[in-house]
Amino acid sequence: MEQWWILRDREPDKYRMVREREAVLRTYAMDKLGFRLVVHRYFARLEKIPARPEAYMGIPEFKLPMDYALFCCILAYLDRKAVEEQFLLSEVCDDLMATCPAEIGLDWVQYEHRKSLVRALTFAKSVGIIQPVEGDVEQFSFRPETEVLYDVTVVSRYFMRPYPKDLSEFATMRELLAASWIETEAGADVGADLGSDVEDVETVGQTGDNRESTAARRHRIYRELFLCPALYGSESSGSLDPDMVYLRNYRNRIQEDIEARTDFRLELYRNCAMLVLPERRMRYTTYPDAKGISDISLQFAAVARQALAAGELQMQPDGTIRLTPVDFERFVSICKSRYGPGWGVQHRRAKLQEAASELKAFLVEWRLAREDPASGMVLLMPALGRVTGEYPAEFDEKLSADLAAKE
């Protein structure tokens, strides 16, 4: 679940474990999530398709849309190469100038464009589709004349998963997601319902009139639980949301299934469900993590909890707390004045608007908050009430003593 694929030459033991349990893993992945397990002689891969796309599901190493465009062009370039054929960085640069979309305006004189290519090639190396033989691509950021020699690996042409038809035949991302869903047995009835209303489909497997088979709903809910920080009922339905009803009806069965086969534990509340780790495991991307903004979000949750208890904030029937942009900044200000002396230098020196903007983006990414693009209202989600953070008493005492000494 945490890896793009398992390469046999890089992780032979892990590959062998998957190969030995192939039948059981394939059945479980398809039955519970509608995911296809591919076990090739060179790799094993679980084809993970989200119920709905989220910003955080992108490639973490990529910073700009250009990174994705260049990487796709690199894939097309590699597709024309033979296995173990060698090529030079300068050859890639020349090919990209001819194949890259014109609207990008690719120009290797520009530092940002060279840096974007470096990120794309570095990622290609990390996933094993190219192998550097000689040279350091990082130097290309600073010197356009830098040369690097690469090998094309045997797995390069398997990076993209197969699609039911040519990608050029898809008009929108939703069509692509819907077609991916139809590939699974449970999605057959969903595909029949989609018809020409694909544009109205917000979530894979769910149609405009909510007709959905039991298997399709199970796949979608499992995907949300495993690939998203939290699953929420709709604002209009609240606790009567079909997903929440399904989870309550099958809670014991789902909980036993997940806890028996994974490290996670299911937590289910009135309007929210999530998978949590009783113990931190390094191989997972978890919240909270070691980043300073993660600590700040915990402290912000504590401030919000205290304000709610004091009657300053009102909880909505769907479990959310609505804040205007001004109120959100005000509570960030309270958080900064109360906990700021213990923050890292970057966040201590940041202006209030900068700190609020970064915190809001972080909360939205982890589904701890939502922002209404029309009104700018910030909705604190129920999962934020699950966490809180305070400094230890001894830290507060030391901080108070240090401040008194400075005065």
93-144: pLDDT as tens digits: 999 999 998 899 999 999 999 999 999 999 999 999 999 999 999 999 999 9
Q: Which residues contact 164 (CB under 8 A, 6 or more apart)?
A: 179, 180, 182, 183
Are 301 and 282 in the same domain? no
Give the Cβ contact number of residue 174 at 10 Å.
20
CA distances from 382 to 180, 224, 351, 363 (A): 31, 16, 28, 12
Could you tell me if residue 114 is inside a domain?
yes
The confidence score (pLDDT) of residue 31 equals 94
Residue 24 inside a domain? The answer is yes
Q: Distance between CA atoms of 251 and 221, rounded to whole angstroms?
A: 12
pLDDT at 401: 67
Residue 402: per-residue pLDDT: 65
> Quick one: 320 and 362 in the same domain?
yes
Q: For residue 208, what pLDDT is reported?
A: 43
Q: What is the pLDDT of residues 311-369, one digit of tens each?
A: 999 999 888 999 999 999 999 999 999 999 889 999 999 999 999 999 999 999 999 99
Taking a C-beta distance cutoff of 8 angstroms, is the pair 4, 160 a contact? no
Q: Say if residue 53 is in the same domain as residue 169.
A: yes
Task: Tell me, yes or no, whether 46 and 143 share the same domain.
Answer: no
Read off the tokens for 301.
Answer: 């949750």
Same domain, 267 and 394: no
The residue out of 173, 188, 213 marking a domain boundary is: 213
Give the structural domain span for 136.
62-158
Q: 135 and 258: one domain? A: no
Q: At which of 213, 241, 276 does a domain end?
A: 213
The pTM of this model reads 0.84
The tokens for 241 are: 């949301």
* 2 inside domain: yes
Instruction: Identify whether residues 106 and 142 lie together within a single domain.
Output: yes
Same domain, 32 and 115: no
Instruction: Classify residue 120: in a domain, yes or no.
Output: yes
Ramachandran category for residue 397: left, alpha or beta (phi over 0 → left; psi -120 to 50 → alpha): alpha
Residues 262 and 236 in one domain: yes
Residue 315 per-residue DSSP state? B
Please list the ranges in the chain whose pLDDT falls under 50. 186-210
Domain boundary among 243, 261, 286: 286
Q: Do residues 195 and 247 share a domain?
A: no
Rounded CA separation 270/241 (Å): 10
36 belongs to a structural domain: yes
Cβ neighbours, 10 Å, residue 290: 6
- The confidence score (pLDDT) of residue 36 equals 94
pLDDT for res 404: 58
68 domain-assigned = yes
Q: What is the DSSP letter of 82?
A: P
Domain count, the chain: 4
Domain presence at residue 223: no
Length of the chain: 407
Whether 222 is covered by a domain: the verdict is no
CATH number of the domain within which 121 lies: 1.10.10
Q: Are residues 172 and 48 in the same domain?
A: yes
What pLDDT is attached to residue 167?
85
C-alpha 65, offset from chain centre: 16
**53/66 same-domain check:** no
